[in-house]
Structure 1
Amino acid sequence: MRVQAFLFYGCAVFFLVTDVVYWLWSGDWTGTTALALSIGLAGLIGFYIHFTVRRLERANNGPLYEDDPEGDIADAAGELGFFSPHSWWPLFLAMSAACVALGVVFGWWLVMLGAAATVMTTIGLVFEYYRGHFAH
């Protein structure tokens, strides 16, 4: 996974060079700002992947199986994690986020209602498996 981190770092450097050239040739602040945000986002993703790989390598006491040149496909076998098979919370979260977006068009009262619903549904999504029948 270290390769993926350096791919995003490379994208950030590419966007940086492109941003400087774009700003010098066009003088357009909108495109320059968009490219600057692209630099930040690519760097952020690269930093996150790099940080996560370092943490996983410390937990495994060595490189990850995808970074091992002598590794086999069978080294990656096993459980990958827990994924919710039947959660309704993402649907409710998307509807409350859509309520916030529509509130910008129709009125600030709808933004406030949607923001409150977004906070409540986010809490429901995060703590879904801490209570009730499916608690671990």
Structure 2
Amino acid sequence: MRTVSRLMWLLGASFVTVDGVYLFRSLRAQNFELIGLLTIGLSGVLCLLLAFYFGQVVKSAGVNVWAEDREDAEIDDGDPEVGFFSPWSWWPVLLGAASSLVIVGLAISAWIVLIAVPLLVICIIGWVYEYYRGNFAR
């Protein structure tokens, strides 16, 4: 993880440097563009924040934080349990479709959003409460 921190510091510094060059070149050409400046600059800020975070994690937890950093690690150590997912559930598919419909409605017209938001709420409720009814009720 220390290597990741160092790489993020390097990448963040390069983004900030490129952002300065971009600002200088765009002002010199009298073609100032705010979007490119902000995109490159905020990418640098993001990398610097990640570098700081990874550095603090290494400092507080020690050198061998990830299983990949340990010499005695097994393959299974790097594959943690990520949770329980219902193999028969259709709610995530419906939730994705309803979320897509909301985004399409925001892009196209407000009346689609008025139809999609109740569908989204129904899908969220159905997914959260799928184990509280039917054959799998607890």
Q: Is TM-score (shorter-chain normalized) higher than 0.5?
A: yes
Matching residue of 2:29: none
Q: CA RMSD in A?
A: 3.8
Unaligned 5+ residue runs, structure 1? none
User: For residues 112 and 49 of structure 1, do their structure 2 counterparts lie closer, same or farther at Cα, with a shift above 3 Å needed?
Assistant: farther
Tell me, in whole angstroms, the C-alpha distance in 2 between the residues paired with 1:130 and 1:53: 40
Task: Report 1 or 2 for greater relative contact order, CA contacts < 8 Å, sequence distance ≥ 6.
Answer: 2
**Aligned counterparts, 1:9-48, within 5 A:** 9-26=9-26, 27-47=32-52
What is the deviation of 1:107? Answer: 1.1
Does 14-23 or 88-97 show the bigger shift?
88-97
Matching residue of 2:72: 72
Q: Deviations over 1:57-103 (max 9, x none)?
A: 37xxx7334334xx1342x5346113436254442332233112211
What is the deviation of 1:54? Answer: 6.0
Cα pair 1:2 1:67 within 8 Å, conserved = no
Tell me, in whole angstroms, the C-alpha distance in 1 between the residues paired with 2:56 and 2:90: 31
The match for 1:108 among 97, 104, 110 is 110
Matching residue of 1:63: 64
Given the two structures, how large is their TM-score scaled by the length of structure 2?
0.61
Matching residue of 1:96: 98
Does 86-95 or 115-124 show the bigger shift?
115-124
Unaligned 5+ residue runs, structure 2? 27-31
Tell me, in whole angstroms, the C-alpha distance in 1 between the residues paired with 2:130 and 2:55: 29
Tell me, in whole angstroms, the C-alpha distance in 2 between the residues paired with 1:52 and 1:120: 40
Tell me, in whole angstroms, the C-alpha distance in 2 between the residues paired with 1:81 and 1:109: 42
% of aligned pairs identical? Answer: 25
Given the two structures, how large is their TM-score scaled by the length of structure 1?
0.61
What is the total number of aligned residue pairs between the two structures? 127
User: For residues 129 and 36 of structure 1, do their structure 2 counterparts lie closer, same or farther at Cα, with a shift above 3 Å needed?
Assistant: farther
Which amino acid counterpart does residue 72 of structure 1 have in structure 2?
A: D
User: For residues 38 and 107 of structure 1, do their structure 2 counterparts lie closer, same or farther at Cα, with a shift above 3 Å needed?
Assistant: same
What is the deviation of 1:119? Answer: 6.0
Q: Deviations over 1:82-130 (max 9, x none)?
A: 34362544423322331122113321232355456556656766x5798
Which amino acid counterpart does residue 35 of structure 2 have in structure 1?
A: T
